[in-house]
């Protein structure tokens, strides 16, 4: 299945974020304060959700439908602004009647073939950050601006270069 994905994200009050999809779904998150999910926690939830859907689908196709399955996803933060490793644990219900070979097939297919989210992280997709001027908030796609010279910004050529700490990713962001 060849499918492209687009979501729109809006931030208000400096820390309240809402993401919208084309099917009019929305999810709310923020900087991780209170009960809100942080962006990193949502990333882990996406890995877990994708893995759970694929894992249970493979098991069902092999004659082992599961009514319930919990996963626990954890990550280690690297010294710079990224995650060093992510671990997905399938918490199987007690007394499950599935042989080890079928569980291993489901795990391998999920991690190596099926789960788009975790495979994207493993294979490090390029992420481009573009500045776009739109006629209004929900209007047409707008116009992409040309990237600025090194040390500047396409929005304001007077912006200074990143500090050495920022270049190393040592500043703390809301994630």
Per-residue pLDDT tens, the chain, 175 aa: give them: 568 999 999 999 888 999 999 999 999 999 888 889 999 999 999 999 999 999 999 999 999 999 899 999 999 999 999 999 999 999 998 889 999 999 999 999 999 999 999 999 999 888 898 888 877 655 545 555 555 544 444 444 444 555 555 555 555 555 5
For residue 33, the model assigns a pLDDT of: 83
| Contact present, 118 and 46 (Cβ < 8 Å) | no
Q: Residues with Cβ < 8 Å from 19, sequence gap 6 or more?
A: 7, 8, 9, 26, 27, 29
* Domains of the chain, residue spans: 1-35, 38-122, 128-175
Residues 101, 174: Cα–Cα separation, whole Å? 42
For residue 22, the model assigns a pLDDT of: 93
* Per-position DSSP letters for 92-157, written without gaps between them: PPTT----HHHHHHHHHHIIIII-HHHHHHHTT-------EE-SSTTSS--EEPPPPPTTS-SS-T
Distances (CA, A) of 82 to 42, 43, 64, 118, 120: 14, 12, 37, 15, 15
For residue 130, the model assigns a pLDDT of: 86
Q: Which of the listed CATH numbers 3.40.190.10, 3.40.605.10, 2.40.30.170, 3.30.300.20 matches domain 38-122? A: 3.30.300.20
């Amino acid at each position: 299945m060849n499918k492209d994905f687009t979501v729109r994200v809006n931030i208000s009050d400096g820390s309240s974020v809402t993401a919208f999809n084309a099917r009019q779904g929305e999810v709310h998150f923020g900087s991780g304060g209170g009960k809100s999910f942080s962006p990193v926690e949502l990333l882990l939830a996406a890995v877990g959700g994708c893995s759970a859907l694929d894992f249970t689908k493979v098991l069902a196709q092999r004659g082992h439908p599961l009514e319930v399955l919990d996963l626990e996803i954890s990550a280690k933060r690297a010294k710079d602004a990224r995650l060093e490793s992510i671990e997905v644990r399938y918490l199987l219900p007690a007394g499950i009647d599935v042989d080890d070979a079928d569980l291993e097939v489901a795990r391998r297919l999920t991690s190596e073939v099926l789960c788009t989210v975790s495979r994207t992280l493993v294979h490090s997709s390029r992420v481009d950050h573009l500045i776009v001027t739109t006629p209004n908030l929900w209007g047409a796609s707008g116009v992409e601006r040309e990237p600025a010279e090194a040390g500047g910004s396409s929005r304001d050529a007077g912006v200074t270069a990143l500090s050495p700490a920022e270049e190393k990713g040592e500043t703390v962001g809301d994630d």
